[in-house]
Amino acid sequence: MALPRGKSVTVLLVEDAPSLQLIYKSVLTGAGHEVRTAGSAAEGMSLFQQTGAQVVLLDLDLPDRNGLDLMAEMMALRPETRVIIITANGSINKAVEAMRAGAHEFLVKPFDEVRFLNAVGNAIERSQSRKTPARDVAQSGFVGSSEVMGRIQAKINSVAHSMATVFITGESGTGKELCALAVHATSPRAKGPFIALNCGAIPHDLLESEVFGHVKGSFTGAISDKPGAAAAADGGTLFLDEICEMAPALQTKLLRFLQTSTVLPVGATRPIKVNVRIVCATNRDPLDAVRRGQFREDLYYRLFVVPIHMPPLRDRGDDVIEIAGTALHRFAEEEGRRFDGLSDEVVDLFRRLPWPGNVRQVLNVIRNVVVLNEGGVVTPDMLPEDMVRQTLGPAHPATPAAMVEAEPQLDSLLGRPLAEVERIIVAATLARYGGSVPKAARVLDLSPSTLYRKLEAWAKDPPVR
């Protein structure tokens, strides 16, 4: 990535190996960058102060000083400095520590010229922009004003500019994909594609093709070339949900992809260069998966650079009321109905419920209310019958009598189109099982991947009334 015309930025290279120093400098100057080099921490600090370098390429293994300490001193003097860490495979843990301390990116030796120049070009672009990202995370879809969500929003705004991998953890239904979308929307890649892939919803024998693509004739049924998710996300963000469900063999290929920025479609002989940022998520404890041998340790350390933990809804105070109110307005518009908010009884009930399905459960409950009722103020008798009974018990004083009666009669479904009845049944089943797609799929005798596809299609194609 060559330096934009008319702009001048000094790149400081701190590398103690003369041969590598020569190679890196040659590549950078060939791309039009002004480069100063140093072979030690002391020399690097001196040049940093003299030149006012805005971008620093820093080898962590220096002969006279710990590279992490040098980076900390540089950033204390000029916090806006973009530091790119250069490290060997054996020092990835240090590189991850550096990212958490504020480094812009890290490169693992050996790396190719394209990845090298992309990292430097991105750092230069960010060093010359002191503006807030074009779209603040508060505008990207998050609902809720609790303190814990405020901290998450601030962290997303802080890391969005980087190319560093973001690893999102949290219980099912807490909004991990929404968090990934927020990272993408507040980053310089916002105009590029956001490609999401659920590693747990795709059969293992098809997952490699979905991620990396395939060429015509590479296996039975491959009737044409197909680009994978990694190639489709070129210039944007690739979101890998349920990453801990990825098959071990594919984990190896994903690690190679992260190290080389190339993909090799199934059946292809030549790799393809791509430029993507990886965001991944899981509802499991990824370190526990490593201990159990289900997830590669080196892949874990390569991905777990900027961790973001999405809190369960029970730890977010009154956010549940904001989420329910926002969802009610949106779903009512989609269904062509008019609702006038939540009654005091429903607000009190929502505050009491533990919401095991988190945000997804709230959305499914509100969707159920909107689909099965004509409008007005949402009262307890409009809520799914089993919702409160499952969480508080049939004799709980907060359970309205109307909610422990029999389920809606068949009459409520008669006269509706079959496609609409299907959506009603699916919404009710999801609400009953706390928003859990796997549980609902078992009850409906569907595969989870089929149910995921239906939900995605319905989200893009709301019913017309």
Task: Choose between 411 and 232: higher pLDDT.
Answer: 232
Assess whether pLDDT exceeds 50 at residue 404: no
Which one, of 377, 372, 371, 384, lies nearest residue 335 by Cα? 371
Assess whether pLDDT exceeds 80 at residue 59: yes
Assess whether pLDDT exceeds 60 at residue 286: yes
**Confidence category of residue 236, pLDDT binned at 50, 70, 90:** very high
Assess whether pLDDT exceeds 60 at residue 134: no
Count the Cβ atoms, other than its own, within 10 Å of residue 279: 30
Over residues 154-206, the pLDDT tens digits come to 888 888 888 889 999 999 889 898 899 999 988 888 889 999 888 877 776 67
Mean pLDDT of 326-330: 89
Task: Say what the pLDDT of residue 18 is.
Answer: 87
Over residues 74-111, the pLDDT tens digits come to 877 777 788 888 877 656 667 667 776 677 777 877 77
For 239-243, 246-250, 387-391, 410-414, which range has the lowest pLDDT when averaged over its residues?
A: 387-391
What is the average pLDDT value for the chain, to the nearest integer?
Answer: 80
Assess whether pLDDT exceeds 90 at residue 237: yes
Task: Choose between 46 and 128: higher pLDDT.
Answer: 46
Over residues 344-373, the pLDDT tens digits come to 989 988 988 888 889 988 988 998 899 888
Task: Choose between 299 and 201: higher pLDDT.
Answer: 299
Over residues 376-390, the pLDDT tens digits come to 999 988 888 766 555
**Confidence category of residue 394, pLDDT binned at 50, 70, 90:** very low
Assess whether pLDDT exceeds 90 at residue 438: no
Assess whether pLDDT exceeds 60 at residue 129: no
Mean pLDDT of 110-130: 74
Task: Choose between 152 and 421: higher pLDDT.
Answer: 152
pLDDT above 70 covers a percentage of the chain that reads 83
The number of CA neighbours under 13 Å toward the Cβ of 396 is 17
Task: Say what the pLDDT of residue 396 is.
Answer: 41
Task: Say what the pLDDT of residue 412 is.
Answer: 66
CA distance 29 to 395: 75
pLDDT above 90 covers a percentage of the chain that reads 18
Task: Say what the pLDDT of residue 128 is.
Answer: 61
Task: Say what the pLDDT of residue 290 is.
Answer: 92
Mean pLDDT of 58-83: 84
Task: Say what the pLDDT of residue 127 is.
Answer: 66
Assess whether pLDDT exceeds 70 at residue 120: yes
Cis? peptide before 311, omega within 30° of 0: no
Task: Say what the pLDDT of residue 324 is.
Answer: 92
Residues in Cβ contact with 334 at an 8 Å cutoff, skipping those fewer than 6 apart:
370, 462, 463
414-422: list long-range contacts, CB under 8 Å, 24+ apart: 419/463, 420/463
Task: Say what the pLDDT of residue 405 is.
Answer: 35
